[in-house]
Amino acid sequence: MAQIALTETAEQLRKRKLEYAIVSGAGFEWQGIATNVTFQQWLVQTRAEVVTNVTATITVSQGPTPWYFVHFKADPAAAAPAH
């Protein structure tokens, strides 16, 4: 398990050998304000795709929160055949 910063790039995540993550939508509500990064922008920035999602109430005061299971796509350059 590892913490991911909103400012990390796809390359940084791959160097850490991260393939999947569980992401709280609430994090984008409060961290996104400071960084101006939306969830959709973060998906593009990290070359991630949503595998599935669920809404769960972790604390009553926060209420229902979206959670996403995401997969970080492989580096396209790494998949290219060598010449």
What percent of the chain is modeled with pLDDT above 70? 83
**Inside any domain, residue 62:** yes
Higher confidence at residue 7 or residue 53?
A: 53
Could you list the residue range(s) of the whole structural domain that residue 70 is in? Answer: 10-74
CB–CB of 62/26 below 8 Å? yes
Spatial CB neighbours of 38, under 8 Å, sequence gap ≥ 6: 28, 32
**Inside any domain, residue 4:** no
Q: How many domains does the chain have?
A: 1
Helix spans in the chain (H): 10-15, 25-35, 39-45, 76-79
Model pTM score: 0.78
What is the per-residue pLDDT for 30? Answer: 62
**Inside any domain, residue 82:** no
